[in-house]
Structure 1
Amino acid sequence: MSTEHYHATSVSIPPQSAIAKAYAFMNLADAYSIELPAGASTNPELLARFIFAHQAPWIGSLMTVRDALVAGFGLKTAKRLASLEAESGAGRLSIFKIYSTSPTEIVLGEDDKHLNFRLSVLCSGQLSPGAKRHLILSTVVHCNNRLGRLYISLIAPFHRLVVQSSLRSAARVGWPSATET
């Protein structure tokens, strides 16, 4: 597999994404694209689950620190959100609520008192035979108050590292094949 399949590139949020206009004002908006190799699945939910299942161990450690810091402010912790998936299973993917799905995109996110965010896993290029196919992971955030703006200013650099690392890790493990469901 060529190294370009391991490189996550910063791109604009795709205009066809359901999150492109999720909020009238966004305090953070970014997107990263990675090429999917021939034969890889383009099922956005399967790919999202795969990405979250193959994150680098340091990301879990970072989430533990984040949870310890935000719990005192009454914000939702990853541990609490993960327990929601375990309790219900339906309508959640890892720590995220599923907002919508389509053949090319899954939109995940969460709303809290400090901010609301949406995350998109979008597969592009699958309608054109022979075209390069890409997975684009986009995030948009709308802060509800000063705490949200402070929070996003502190975590934005880590967020970008986590997204890029997650895409690279999934690529290195090897994307699920188109025959998997």
Structure 2
Amino acid sequence: MSPLSTTVSPVPVPTDSRIGSFYANPYLADAFAVALPANVVRDPELLARFVFGHQPGWINQLMGVRDAMVSVFGLKTAKALSTAGPSPATNRVGLFKIYERHASEIILGENDKHLDFRASVMCRPAAAGEPGPTLVMSTVVCCHNRLGRSYIGLIRPFHRLVVQASLRRAAQVGFPTEATG
């Protein structure tokens, strides 16, 4: 049996995702997909925790640089987000607040003075002609001001690299399956 592909592909934001309805005119909207094993755990929160828990090390370094830059503007840092809320372990996935939980999708995000964003982690069943299910990570951003638009302009290329690398790394490590939990 050949190993599962670690190819991450850009895809349209799924029309059946709840993320598409968050902002009427998002400043950024993108999505990336990776194949999942047929026997993968189908819990989107567990899959989101797995993806964010297995990111390449360079992403943490990049977040450190980001934190140093944004703190001078009074924006939320990764360190502040990781300890936010009454019970970070249950109300957050990684740095992100959980907004909605559904059978096949979890909606995460944050609001700040410069922008609001939502991220979706969605487990989709195999479509016609596909060998198995896919995991789709989508992001939508609503900018409030010039700072938000400038910030997104600067981080957009890094955002795409981070999402793709995170999905690729999770596939390389091996997504949790029904047998492994």
TM range (shorter): over 0.9
2:159 corresponds to which residue? 159
Amino acid in structure 1 at the alignment position of 2:166: S
Report how far residue 178 of structure 1 moved: 2.2
* Cα displacement string for residues 115-174 of structure 1 (whole angstroms, at most 9, x for unaligned residues): 00000000111699x962000000000001000000000000000000000000000000
Contact 2:125 2:132 in 1 (8 A): yes
Amino acid in structure 2 at the alignment position of 1:18: R
Residues 38-77 of structure 1: pairs in structure 2 closer than 5 A: 38-77=38-77
1:139 corresponds to which residue? 139
SS in structure 2 at match of 1:20: helix
For structure 1, the residue ranges without an aligned partner over 5 or more in a row are none
Contact 1:109 1:118 in 2 (8 A): yes
| Aligned-partner Cα distance in 2 for 1:34–1:86 | 33
For structure 2, the residue ranges without an aligned partner over 5 or more in a row are none
1:27 corresponds to which residue? 27
TM-score (norm 1): 0.93
* Cα displacement string for residues 15-68 of structure 1 (whole angstroms, at most 9, x for unaligned residues): 110101210111100000111012111210000000011000000000000000
* Cα displacement string for residues 79-120 of structure 1 (whole angstroms, at most 9, x for unaligned residues): 000012685433111110000011100000000000000000
Percent pairwise identity: 51
| Aligned-partner Cα distance in 1 for 2:131–2:167 | 20
Farther off after superposition, 58-67 or 35-44:
35-44
Distance 1:66 1:2, change over 3 A: farther
Contact 1:85 1:93 in 2 (8 A): no
Amino acid in structure 2 at the alignment position of 1:28: L
Equivalent residue pairs, number: 180
SS in structure 1 at match of 2:176: coil
Residues 87-126 of structure 1: pairs in structure 2 closer than 5 A: 88-125=88-125
| Aligned-partner Cα distance in 1 for 2:10–2:59 | 20
Contact 1:31 1:136 in 2 (8 A): yes
SS in structure 2 at match of 1:168: helix
Farther off after superposition, 25-34 or 83-92:
83-92
| Aligned-partner Cα distance in 1 for 2:38–2:71 | 43
What stretches of structure 1 move > 2 A for 4+ residues in a row?
1-5, 85-90, 178-181
Amino acid in structure 2 at the alignment position of 1:106: I
SS in structure 2 at match of 1:159: helix
Calculate the aligned-residue CA RMSD, in Å. Answer: 2.0
SS in structure 1 at match of 2:49: helix
| Aligned-partner Cα distance in 2 for 1:88–1:36 | 28
Report how far residue 9 of structure 1 moved: 0.4
